[in-house]
Amino acid sequence: MTESTRGPLAGVRILDFTQFLSGPYGTQILGDLGAEVIKIESPAGDLSRSVAPNFVRGDSVYFHTINRNKRSLAVNLKAEGAVELVRTLLDQSDIVMENFRPGVLHRLGISRKKEMERNPALIWCSITGFGQDGPARNLPAYDMVVQAASGAMSLTGEEGGRPLRTGVPVGDLAAGLNAVIGVLAALEKRRSTGVGDYIDVSMLDCLVSMLNYQASYYLHSGTLPGPQGTGHDSVPTYRTFTCGDGQDVVTTANTERMWADMATVLGHEELVTDPRFATNTDRLKNKEALWAVIEPAFLAHPAAEWVRKFNELSIPAALVKSVPDALVDPQVVHREMVVHLDDGQGSSVSVPGNPIKFESAIREGHIFPPRLGADGSDVLRAAGLDDAAIDRLVDAGVVVPGWRSE
C-alpha cells in the first residue's frame, strides 16, 4: 500500500544508513510522519532481514517491524564510484542518519565533516553504543551490552535476585527516539539559520539519562539501588498484588486521596487512621506491616473485579496482561496501535503502529517494507541519473539492481 496522506515532514529527505534496530526505529518514525526515507543497504542487506524465526516475503518480521514507509537502494560502498554516488544523494538530502562505529564511513571515503562543509544545510545524526568520543568510543555494542553498562540492568528483576535484561530493548529504542528528537530540533534550528548540525547519540548516554530518579537517589544518599521487582522505592502502594484468581494487578495509589480510597475499597478503613500509615513516608517506613494486611485482602476477588473497583474511584490500576491480550485490548485497537501492512501482491504482516497522533490525519496507509534494492532505479532517476548512467553503476557493481526482481 502506498502513502495517500502527506504528513508534517513531507518534503524532508532522509538518507538512512542505519541497520538493525536503533536507527531504523528512528527513521521509521520520521517516515511515518511523512519524510521521504531512502534506506541505503549493503549488497547483503540490513542484517535484520535475516533474524529468525519469523519471515514474510523472504525477510524477517523483525525487519518488517521497523522499516515501513522507506525505499531501499543497495550500494556497495567499497566499489569504485560508490562514494561519488553517495555524494550526489547527500547533496539532495536534508538529513543523514547512520549507526556505524565511529570512523567506519570515513574509512570508506565518506567524511562527515567534508560533506557538511559542502552542504552546510545538511543535518547528520550518528547513533553508536558509546558515543563519538571517550575511552569506550570504539567498543562494539548491542542493546543488552548497554543495558548492562548503564546500570539499568541492575535495577531489573525480582528484589534480591540477579539482574535481568528488560523484555523491551530499551537501549536501542531510547537511542532511536532521542535521535528523532535531535534531528527535529536541528530542522527547527535550520529553519531560522539555514545551517544544519551534527547530532551524536550514544545508547549508553540514553540509558544513563533514563536511570532518572534512581541515579539521583543514589547520588544524594549513597544508598545502592537494586532490582526493583514489581514495586517502587518511594511508594509502597505502587506495585503488583496477586488476586483471588491467581492473576496479578497493578495499583499506583500515590496520593493521599488514592491511598484512603484504596484502603476503603479493600475493606480496611482502619488503616487510614492508623498512625503507622498516616503519610506516604510513614507507609514507606512500615511497608512490610502494611503489605501484611493488604496482600491477603486482594485474594477476596479476581483481578478484573479489583481493577473495576479501583478505576471507579479513579485509582489507576490494570491487569498485568500478556502480549496477546494487550494487542487485542479495545483501547489498543481503537488507537490503531496494530497496523496491517499489505504489499498488494499477496504478502502481509501485522506490526505495532505509530504512537504519535495528529489531529489532521497523516496517512491512510503505509508503504510496505522494501525488498533489498527494490527502489534503486526510482531513487537514482530522482537524483538525476538517466538509464544509461544507472546501467553503468549496475555493471560496475556499485548498485544492486533489486528492482529487476520485483
Among all residues, which ones are annotated catalytic? 172
Q: 233 to each of 3, 166, 213, 284, how far by Cα in Å?
A: 46, 18, 10, 8
Angle of helix 170-193 relative to helix 22-32, nearest 10 degrees, comes to 50
Q: In 3D, which of 43, 10, 32 has the Cα closest to residue 341?
A: 32
Contact 166, 147 (CB under 8 A): yes
Contact 318, 238 (CB under 8 A): no
Q: In 3D, which of 273, 254, 372, 269 has the Cα closest to residue 314?
A: 254
Residues with Cβ within 8 Å of 366's Cβ and at least 6 positions away in sequence, in order, are 1, 3, 32, 68, 69, 339, 341
Torsion sign, CA atoms 79, 85, 90, 93 = negative
User: Per-residue DSSP letters for 210-235?
Assistant: HTHHHHHHHHHH-PPP---TTS-SS-
Per-residue cell: 117: 562543509
Contact 194, 123 (CB under 8 A): no
Q: Which strand ranges, in their side-by-side order, compose the sheet holding 238-242?
A: 238-242, 248-252, 317-319
- Single-letter code of the amino acid located at 196: G
Contact 2, 70 (CB under 8 A): no
Contact 4, 362 (CB under 8 A): no
Determine the Cα angle at 137 with ends 134 and 142, to 5°.
Answer: 135
Determine the Cα angle at 58 with ends 56 and 64, to 5°.
Answer: 50
